[in-house]
A and B are shown apart, each in its own frame.
Chain A
Amino acid sequence: MAATNVGSYEHSTAKLHTVAIKRMAIHAIIFFCFIGLWEFGSRMGWLDPLFYPRPSAILHSFWLIYVENGNIWFHLYATMSLVLFGWIAGSVLGIALGSLVGFNPLVRRFLKPYVIVLEATPRIAVAPLLIAALGFGSMSKIAIIMLVCFFAPFINTLSGVVNVNEDRLELFRSLRASKMQVLRKLVLPDAIPVIMSGERLALTAALSGALVAEFIQRDQGIGSLILVYTRNLNMASAFACIFTLTVLGFLIFKGMEMLDRYIAFWKYEEGRVRISQKRREKMKGTSHVG
């Protein structure tokens, strides 16, 4: 099935394109049927408006909060900057420590109990302590998010670094590879799929971490907005906010997937083909005379 020349590769991408559209169409149809049923059930009085607000009401809310009042933009920006900042900080910390601990048994011995204790503690309970230590405001919220999304990358990186394929390691050693070469050409490439998997988890964890932080410090952000709406039983607007988060989360997830295809390309046939293509072109250029 692997394409062997440029022509059929383009052909297969075109095919993929139409297949993708077909799939999206199916998803869309399922979605609209679901919404239709929901609206119908709500109008018939079968669904409790307290818990399942009517889709038309939710749509109206979307209009209100995005256009007419436009009050969601500020909160959206607040939440997203928290998520982004917290996620980056948390994963950088997680990957760095994961690699450090993976390579260094002594550090691991001393760090391990504290990391485990920290992970075992639900962060929502630690929030007051964090606020006492870091004060009100973004810092403590970001700290909560970091705590939440640090562990997945850490554990997965550690797992990836430690579970090196030992036969290949011996091969590298027998070819007299330096430590850096081992790291760059063996450990990291093998570990990257696992690390990426950890990153994906971390990002979605960051979103819910941000929400937990905003439920506790409710000055701004989508979390605080949801609280106001549920307190006033404005469930349509509350759902509009929740769906906003869901859509955001979904977009983030898809974004991560694209990143995954780009970075850990060898997992995907399409990626392998693409990169081989590129490399072949390059080699043709350098080895070709004239």
Chain B
Amino acid sequence: MNMIKGLLVSATLVTSSLPVVSFAQETTVNMINPLPRSTVFYPLVVGEALGYFADEGIKVNLLPSDTSIPYVAFIQNGQADLSMLDPNETINALNAGAEISTVYEVMQNAPEGVAVLSGGTYKTMSDLIGTTVGLVSDRDRAFLQAALDVTGHSIDDVNTVVLGESGPTLAAAIRDGKVSAISGSVFDWAGLQAAGIALDLITPDELLASPANTFAINTNMIEEKRAAMEGFLRAWSKGMYVSMVNPAVVETMLRQAVPEEWEDEASGLSLLAGVLPMNISTTPRLGDVQSQVWTDIQPRMLTSGAIEKIVDVSTFLNDTYIAAANDFDKAKVEADAAAWAKSNK
């Protein structure tokens, strides 16, 4: 009995730890974020499909983790090289003494927002007074508070209930009118809309300019990891660029790489349509860090209790990799995409 167990154990141990045969110069970049390879962050998929990461000698080791885990801690102890953080997490981490720098903005349009059912009875923030608003998680209360503050109300004017991240629960809550609106982010409504639940975002304009999902790195590692990071961000930017010129090929790549999100054609397309504008940078240089935006958003984060102290943006915003990340031949990228499309018809 014991011998059989022993054999099974060693067999499993061996097969599950078989290293991928890697060629000489390959560096592994460990990236921690909330989702596995997904349509929502398609630049990764596109970059890998066209071999851009491999060209830079990089193998991306994605570490998708639940958000109850403090991502920043893993940048601190080196288990992750890059982490996707949003402004709340970044400022809180800095206030807690973490030495991190924000080096690239993945999504420059605030994916956070307040959503209501399309064509329903609630059309503005004021309509929500006295109703129950759903929160995707505890942390979304701060955003709701900011949205209410900005429109002249207060968080005490509404009831809140935490709904959790599970798709069906959110869908049922808004569809059946159990909540008047949901305060959450693109992760949450992309799925809902893709499944045919039409939502309108009633987020106040003042709150729309907010970078979300930015890449943060351990400040002490900026020079040491320069080569790997610049390569990674360049491949990511190239992936983003492909979607700016040839979204059709992005669709095909996603269908191959993440079939589970494309089992239903229509919902896959709807999901992609929703996340395309989020992933495409609005700044002239892709992924550029926007100091003014970061400075502007902090006061309302302070008043809504999301952060304890305002942090000077020059202490953590760092565009040192941006130039290199944008240093690529756009025409070549377009050609690569077209060639890929042809050979993957």
Contact = CB atoms under 8 A, between A and B. Distances in A.
Do A and B have CB atoms closer than 8 angstroms in the complex?
A: yes
Given A71-B260, A85-B9, A232-B191, A50 B168 contact: yes
Contacts of B194: 232-233
Contact of A88 (B5, B70, B167, B267): B5
Given A132-B74, A136-B63, A127 B69 contact: yes
Contacts of A237: 260, 263
B167 A230 contact: yes
Interface stretch (A165-173, A176-184, A221-229, A246-254): A221-229
Contacts, number: 110
Interface stretch (A25-33, A112-120, A212-220): A212-220
Given A127-B69, A132-B73, A230-B166, A51 B172 contact: yes
B64 A224 contact: yes
B5 to A, nearest CB: 6
A84 interface: yes
B116 interface: no
Contacts of B192: 233
A50 B166 CA distance: 11
Contacts of A224: 36, 64
A131 B63 CA distance: 11
Contacts of B5: 88, 92
B191 A233 contact: yes
Given A230-B166, A232-B267, A128 B8 contact: no
A64 interface: yes
B12 A81 contact: yes
B261 A217 contact: no
A231 interface: yes
A41 interface: no
Most buried by B among A51, A135, A215: A135
A94 to B, nearest CB: 13
B227 interface: no
Contacts of B70: 128
Tell me which of A225, A229, A234, A235 has the highest count of chain B C-beta atoms within 10 A of its own C-beta: A234
Contacts of B172: 48, 50-51
A61 interface: yes
A69 interface: yes
Interface stretch (B13-21, B141-149, B309-317, B326-334): B13-21
A65 B263 CA distance: 9
Interface residues of A, number: 38
A47 interface: no
Interface string A56-83: 0000010011000101000000000100
Contact of A233 (B74, B171, B187, B259): B171
A219 B168 contact: no
A219 B172 CA distance: 27
B271 interface: yes
Contacts of A69: 259-260, 263
Contact of B195 (A218, A225, A232): A232
A232 B259 CA distance: 12
A234 B9 contact: no
B271 A51 contact: no
A88 B8 CA distance: 9
Nearest to A237: B263
A229 B218 CA distance: 33
Contact of B263 (A61, A84, A127): A61
Contact of A84 (B8, B36, B168, B187): B8
B266 to A, nearest CB: 12
Interface in B8-60: 8-9, 12-13, 15-17, 30, 32, 35-36, 38
A219 B60 CA distance: 12
Given A50-B168, A84-B8, A218 B65 contact: yes
A163 to B, nearest CB: 23
A219 B64 contact: yes
Nearest to B9: A88
Contacts of A228: 36, 38, 258, 260-261
B66 interface: yes
A204 interface: no
B69 A131 contact: yes
Interface in A99-141: 127-128, 131-132, 135-136, 138
A89 interface: yes
B36 A219 contact: yes
Interface of A: 48, 50-51, 61, 64-65, 69, 71, 81, 84-85, 88-89, 92, 127-128, 131-132, 135-136, 138, 215-220, 224-225, 228-235, 237
Interface of B: 5, 8-9, 12-13, 15-17, 30, 32, 35-36, 38, 62-66, 68-70, 73-74, 77, 79-80, 165-168, 171-172, 175, 187, 191-192, 194-195, 258-261, 263-264, 267, 271
